[in-house]
Amino acid sequence: MSAQIISGTELAASIRETIATRAAELTAQGHQPGLAVVLVGEDPASQVYVRNKVSACEKAGFKSVMHRMPENTSQDALVGLVEQLNADPTIHGILVQLPLPRHLDSHLVIESISAEKDVDGFHISNAGLLMTGKPLFRPCTPYGVMKMLELTGIDLRGAEAVVIGASNIVGKPQAMLLLQQGATVTLCNSKTKDLKSHCLRADVLVVAVGRPNMITGDMIKPGAVVIDVGINRLPDGKLCGDVDFESASEVAGWITPVPGGVGPMTITMLLQNTIEAVERSI
């Protein structure tokens, strides 16, 4: 093992202290940060994430409201709830946990959230603002990755950054944020030819595909920063990332673990986005 670990758990704890202090100040001024979390259906992983979000809010002194809706909820009922939350002045941030049950159109649901309360940063106006370099909310996972790189002192100017996975919630916004910090960015997808050659060029490699251990040590440039966004549950119940930690940590300079890496930062940046929403609203 030669790589140094970037601990999301430790960084998140320190950022959350600052957030709690700011939340107490805002509360004293009559603006307690309020976050509404909407969960539709019974997806077991989503239940864990939502519970962790509510608990993080409570520990930081936020008002947190949790809305659970049954699996067979209609599009109209879900949009109706979002519209009610849009109009509630005590709620500064709204998120609908993804994935939604298949009969619901997640694009339409996300577009129904007021862009000023879209603390996930998934609304089309927020995606557009991010693209043009004027973000209102940065999506929480890529925002968390950028915070980890910043706090670890990684200089992105002129660095070769390779992002694997081009989803709307991680890969695409991640590429934009890296580009805005001066990195030369390659965004790989499932059709990319010779993925290994792209990976081997990366000074900073961000992997977000959802395939257990697919990136191995022989695909990593010596000394590279490796950020593993994947959270995969194996048949034995253990969690693992998209990066084979054992072989990758022999080659990388810095690496994030799973669990305890990007995951805790995702929830922290959700709190950060909610604070930013309050500050903009007063």
Ligand X SMILES: Nc1nc2c(c(=O)[nH]1)N[C@@H](CN(C=O)c1ccc(C(=O)N[C@@H](CCC(=O)O)C(=O)O)cc1)CN2
Which active-site residues does the annotation give?
A: 53, 97, 120
| Cβ-closest position to Mg ion | 141
Tokens of 42: 């019974």
Write down the residue that tokens 């709307």 correspond to: 168
Q: Is 231 annotated as a binding residue?
A: yes
The structure tokens 């991680």 sit at: 170
E-strand stretches of 19-150: 34-40, 63-69, 93-96
Name which of 7, 64, 19, 31 is nearest 281 in CA terms.
31
Restricted to residues 261-280, the positions that interact with Mg ion (CB under 5 A) are 266
Among 61, 210, 212, 259, binds ligand X (CB under 6 A): 259
165 is in an annotated binding site: yes
Does residue 64 bind Mg ion (CB under 5 A)?
no
Contact call for residue 141 and Mg ion (CB under 5 A): yes
Using CB under 6 A as the binding criterion, the count of chain residues that bind ligand X stands at 19
Least distance to ligand X, CB of residue 99, Å: 7
What is the Cα–Cα distance from 158 to 160, expressed in whole angstroms?
7
Confirm or reject binding of residue 263 to ligand X (CB under 6 A): yes
Report in angstroms how near the CB of residue 137 gets to ligand X at its nearest. Answer: 11
Strand spans (E) along the chain: 4-5, 34-40, 63-69, 93-96, 160-164, 184-188, 204-207, 225-228, 232-233, 239-240, 254-255
Q: Which of residues 131-190 bind ligand X (CB under 6 A)?
A: 140-141
Nearest to 170 by CA among 221, 111, 200, 210: 210
Beta-sheet pairing, 160-164 with 204-207:
parallel
Residue 84 neighbours by CB distance under 10 Å: 12
Residue whose CB is less far from Mg ion, 60 or 95 = 95
Q: Contact with ligand X (CB under 6 A): which of 231, 252, 271, 277? A: 231
Per-residue interface string for the shown chain with ligand X, residues 82-111, x marking contact by CB under 6 A:
-------------xxxx-------------
Binding residues for NADP(+) are: 165-167, 231
Chain residues in the site for Mg ion (CB under 5 A): 141, 266
Sites of contact with ligand X (CB under 6 A):
48-49, 52, 95-98, 120, 140-141, 231, 239, 258-260, 263-264, 266-267
